Chains A and B, each alone.
Chain A
């Protein structure tokens, strides 16, 4: 069955006259990621129920009480996903009540409490937007930047260093400086594999991963030595207040200007990639380096440039997390943002708008995962499983098409990175 759909690809190249199927294709392109996410969540649900001791017990008696078996599975899944989405989006009733209370009495406490989960999800989405853009820019140049994790870490260290070492500067100077510190550190960490790729053809996938490990070890040393704050714990000092990204609401809510900055940067990257010569060259190199070379595009420069931009964005991701949320850096600072970013870039088809949407989704998933762990006892790693599945489904549209019996007019390859 699947052969048919895959093999029709080359034979349909001549299909360029207008017909109705092209209209369907447009919706198909947005349908595919949605179906991929949906399928990932369904399989995630099966994993949750399948590893639940009470569910397994109930299914052992399936032939005596089939209803109870399904009920147990349903309860398990509903508890887990209920906690997941409750923890990330909040309770609509409470939000409505909060709004009513605010308008009738002017008391904002209930409203702020009810939107706390959404605020946390947006806070989690913020570094995802930057990191997803980082991987996406790499993809557009045909480079696979798996080093976003290390660049994130270095960016965090760079910005925290500028943040705590300088004193007495006004916020309008200190904050941009701290952000720049993060960008510079991340860009440096990205530039090295980019240069090695451009100059020696060294595989950027392996090199960016090596840079991750080197970064982790370096940060271990920095946090235990030169950058260690007085005291026993291996953490840095907190950044001075002038370097913090201001928050919108009073304390438990951590939503800050980093989110707005992320949206602005997403727009900036869109403009850079699609409206400037630099972006055009980067995309040409990514689409066909040989053709680009014959057209006079400097491959070496574009590889390095793309990795510098990519690393800088990942560094900014770390900076936004430090300056907006944590204000200091400790060991194990990154919760895998750089690796999640790969899934985000793929899901968003390496388009800034797609990346923002995918980052919001992952913000919701990750934001609620901790609550799911505490309430339903499901390890947060379930999100990684869902993520891996989503990557597979997005990259292999054939599977989704086969599952849902979709026959599109044209089979567009989701995304190509060169090995």
Chain B
């Protein structure tokens, strides 16, 4: 099933297929988007979030039809080049393909209308946050050799605890802390089951998910629904804009005007990257995930490393759970995570089990998610239900590994027996 040998040069067949796909998509753009527009139409992309910015950049005004012709040409051109000569990196091909197609689609969908590009990028970053935190949870656990598919349930627990603590205490920072601790606690249950009792890791994760949905729904209908103001109305964390940086056009409103959870996530990505690849702790973690026996022989405490990493991972997931309640809407709804924990796992795989890769791929999922929302507003004639499927379909495509194969840590999912 898994291809173990890796070709530096693409073989002939793959090369032709990629080229054909690019040309086909180029033609698709031509027929679907370019031909269905009229010569005079213009597309306006808004580049400012609010009118009060210090520097107002002019909006991007594109002629709809020529832009689409150009993008179709790029796709066909790159496709033809790929067929004839072959581009070395699949990543470049995917980037060209995805960028051109999405751009062409947006230009077409927003013809004769104004479309806030900055608004969409900004919401992509926000929507990527819980996915990224779930992915980071996956990265740190799986690097230590423990699969955690219970992230979804962990996030639900944390989301509910944080809203209740926040409403009762009136302090959202305490609520944030409570969410993180809850995440750690739930993860320690998973760790205990799979490390101590050697329960199958997938089964344990499933049990956590079922318990997460069950307990939070139970608490919700037994307590929260009757006492909304006393228990389920916490308000949301304030949006903090970073001085100076938030004034930069385009990038400023996208990156530097967000809730603390978004900043924390970006900081965590950097910290985790350094810890994982430049510290003894990280080396031990990876050793435990790749070859626990060897690590054990060298005196690394395999069980301890696994416990600590899984629990830290749970704390990330807890932070991700807090995003759903005190980070965005200020109340808890049953099963409000809607599969984000699992999408996070896909982001982890797509990001090749690295923190930075996981964050980047989370951004792609966040983009797909916010695209879907914006398109509903633009009324492009595609039923909203199909747009809602987009993130899930993207996940499945990513998991096929067509877009760059990733290899899991060798001892991932296997219990360690001394």
Q: Which residues of A contact B (CB under 8 A)?
A: 2, 6, 10, 47, 51, 144, 146, 196-203, 205-207, 209-214, 217-218, 220-221, 224-225, 299-300, 339, 342-343, 346, 377-379, 381-385, 387-389, 391-392, 395-396, 398-399, 413, 415-419
Q: Is B336 interfacial (CB-CB < 8 Å)?
A: no
| Candidate in B206, B349, B386, B401 with the most chain A CB atoms within 10 angstroms | B206
The B150-209 residues at the A interface (CB cut-off 8 A) are 193, 196-204, 206-208
| Chain A residues whose C-beta falls within 8 Å of the C-beta of B201 in the assembled complex | 419
User: How far is it, in angstroms, between the C-alpha of A299 and the C-alpha of B1 when the chains are bound?
Assistant: 8
Q: Which residues of B contact A202 (CB under 8 A)?
A: 396, 399-401
A384-B210, A389-B211, A392-B193 are contacts. A210–B2 as well, Cβ < 8 Å? no
- Whether B342 contacts A209 by the Cβ 8 Å rule is yes
> Given the complex of chains A and B, what is the CA–CA distance between A145 and B346 in angstroms?
17
Q: List the one stretch of B34-42, B44-52, B95-103, B387-395 in contact with chain A.
A: B387-395
Give the one of B207, B208, B215 with max A CB within 10 A. B207
Instruction: Kindly list chain A residues whose C-beta atoms are within 8 Å of the C-beta of B219.
Output: 51
Contact sample, A vs B, 13 pairs, CB 8 Å cutoff: A2-B197, A200-B400, A206-B395, A206-B399, A217-B389, A218-B389, A221-B385, A381-B221, A395-B204, A396-B193, A419-B147, A419-B202, A419-B413
Bound CA–CA A389/B389 (angstroms):
32
Most chain-A Cβ atoms within 10 A of its Cβ — which of B1, B204, B339, B346?
Answer: B1
Partner of B202, one of A47, A196, A225, A417: A417
Select one of A10, A217, A388 contacting B211, CB under 8 A: A388
Cα-based distance from A240 to B115 in the complex (angstroms) = 49
> When the two chains form their complex, are residues B207 and A203 in contact, meaning their CB atoms are under 8 A apart?
no
- Kindly state the separation between the CA atoms of A298 and B396 in the bound complex, as whole angstroms: 24
Main DSSP-derived SS at the B contact region: helix
When the two chains form their complex, are residues A214 and B211 in contact, meaning their CB atoms are under 8 A apart?
Answer: no
Docked Cα-Cα span, A419 to B150, in Å, equals 13
Contact (A213, B214) CB under 8 Å given A206-B342, A342-B206: no
Q: How far is the CA of A413 from the CA of B217 in the complex (A)?
A: 31
Q: Is residue B218 contacting chain A, with contact meaning CB distance below 8 A?
A: yes
Name A203's contact: one of B200, B386, B392, B399 (CB within 8 Å). Answer: B399
Residue B58 at the chain A interface, CB threshold 8 Å: no
The answer to the question of B149 belonging to the interface, with a C-beta cut-off of 8 Å to chain A, is yes
Q: Are B401 and A201 in contact (CB under 8 A)?
A: yes
Q: Which residues of B contact A299 (CB under 8 A)?
A: 1
Give the interface of B toward A (CB within 8 A).
1-2, 147, 149, 193, 196-204, 206-208, 210-211, 213-215, 217-219, 221-223, 338-339, 342, 345-346, 349, 383, 385-386, 388-389, 392-393, 395-396, 399-402, 412-413, 417
Q: Please measure, in the bound complex, the distance between the C-alpha atom of A51 and the C-alpha atom of B147, giving whole angstroms.
A: 33
**Are B199 and A217 within 8 A (Cβ)?**
no
Nearest-neighbour CB distance to chain B for A213, whole angstroms, equals 5
B residues within 8 A CB of A203? 345, 349, 399
Complex contact B386–A391 (CB within 8 A) = no
B193 to chain A, nearest CB (A): 6
Q: Given A201-B401, A299-B1, check contact A343 B210 (CB 8 Å).
A: yes
Instruction: Tell which of B193, B217, B402 touches A200, judged by Cβ atoms closer than 8 Å.
Output: B402
A144 touching B202, Cβ below 8 Å? yes
A47 to chain B: which residues have CB within 8 Å?
218
For residue A211, which residues in chain B have a CB less than 8 angstroms away from its CB?
Answer: 392, 396
Q: Which residues of A contact B147 (CB under 8 A)?
A: 419
Cβ A210 vs Cβ B395 within 8 A? yes
B348, closest chain A residue (CB): A206
CB-nearest residue of chain A to B412: A419
Expressed in whole angstroms, the Cα–Cα distance for A366 and B267 within the complex equals 46
Contact B215 A196 (CB under 8 A): no
